[in-house]
Amino acid sequence: MALKLNDKLASGIRAHGEAAYPHECCGALLGCHTGADRETRALLPLLNRRTDSPQNRFSVSAADVRAAEQAAAAQGLDLIGWYHSHPDHPAQPSDYDREHAWPWYSYVIVSVHSGHGAELTAWRLAEDRSAFEHEPLESAASISKR
Amino acid sequence: MPVKVMIPTPLRPYASKQSSVAFEARTVREALGSLTVQFSELRKHLYTDEGKLRSFVNVYVNDDDIRYLQHEDTQIKDGDTISIIPSIAGG
C-alpha cells in the first residue's frame, strides 16, 4: 500500500504551501488505483475555508468536496485524498487531524519552514480511528525503476 | 417505496462496497440508525462516542442540509434521497 506522487505534483503541493504561508493550504488529490497502490495524477488546489485560524487549521466545505468529486470524474479519475500544509511545523499529523479524518482517503502533509516547502509525508487513518498510519510515498524516480 | 441513503466513497468499504442502500424510515435518525445497525463498522466514523453526528459529517435530504431542517428529526418520505457528504478538516 503506497501512494505514488511524481516530482512535479510534489513540487505543486510545496508551491501551494509556500504561496499560502503563513496560512495552511489545502487541496484534493485526484488519481487512480493501481493494484494495492494509488497513483496521484492531478491536484485540485482549494480555498482554505477556515478564516478564523488559517495559520493552524484548514477546512474544505461539503460543497468543495462535491466539486472535487465532480472534477475527478470529469477527468476519469477518483478523489483519492487530500493535502494540506503545516506552516513551521513538522509534516506529522496532529491530534486534530486525526480526530477530523475520514478513513480510506490518503492524507498528504507538507511542512513549510519559514516560507519554504520541505518534508512531505502521507498517511491513512487506522480502521479504529486511534491513529494515523504512515503511507509510503513513491516518487517518479522510484516508480520508474519497477 | 423506501428512502435511499447514499454512501460516500470513504465509507463504502464498511458498507459492503455499496454506493447506496435503501431503508424504510420516517426520519433521518431512523434511516441512519438502520444503516449503522446493518453496517455496524460505520457507526464510529459517523458518530462520536457520545452519539452525536461528527462535525465533518454532513447529511442532506435531497438537496437540503439537515442542519437547516430539523437535524436528525427531519421527516422523510418515500422516494427521498439521504446523502452523507464529507467535509474535510485538519490543522
| Interface probe with B: pick from A25, A49, A66, most Cβ of B within 10 Å | A66
pLDDT tens, position by position, B29-85: 999 999 999 999 999 999 999 999 999 999 999 999 999 999 999 999 999 999 999
Q: Which residue among A66, A69, A100 places its CB closest to the CB of B89?
A: A100
Mean pLDDT, residues A94-119 taken together: 97
| pLDDT number for residue B1 | 65
| pLDDT number for residue B46 | 97
Give the CATH number of the domain where residue A16 resides: 3.40.140.10
Residue A26: pLDDT band (50, 70, 90) is very high
Closest CA to B53 of B19, B2, B21, B87: B87
Between CA B86 and CA B59 the distance in angstroms is 9
pTM: 0.94
Distance from CA of A109 to the nearest CA of B (A): 10
Residue A143: pLDDT band (50, 70, 90) is very low
- Whether B11 and chain A come into contact, CB under 8 Å, resolves to yes
Average pLDDT, whole number, for chain A? 94
Contact B86 A103 (CB under 8 A): no
- Whether B88 and chain A come into contact, CB under 8 Å, resolves to yes
Q: Using CB atoms and an 8 Å cut-off, which of residues 15-34 of chain B contact chain A?
A: none
Cell, residue B4: 435511499
Residue A126 is part of which domain span?
3-144
Total domains, chain A: 1
Cell 486511534, located at residue: A130
Alpha helices, DSSP H, located in A27-133: 62-74, 95-99
| pLDDT number for residue A36 | 84
| Domains of chain B from N-terminus onward | 3-86 (3.10.20.30)
Q: Which residue among A58, A62, A100 places its CB closest to the CB of B85?
A: A62
Contact A100 B13 (CB under 8 A): no
Query: What b/e string do you get for B32-45 counting C-beta neighbours within 10 Å, with b at 16 or more?
Result: bebbbeebeebebb
Closest CA to A143 of A11, A16, A40, A70: A40
Q: Which residue among B14, B45, B89 places its CB closest to the CB of A58?
A: B89
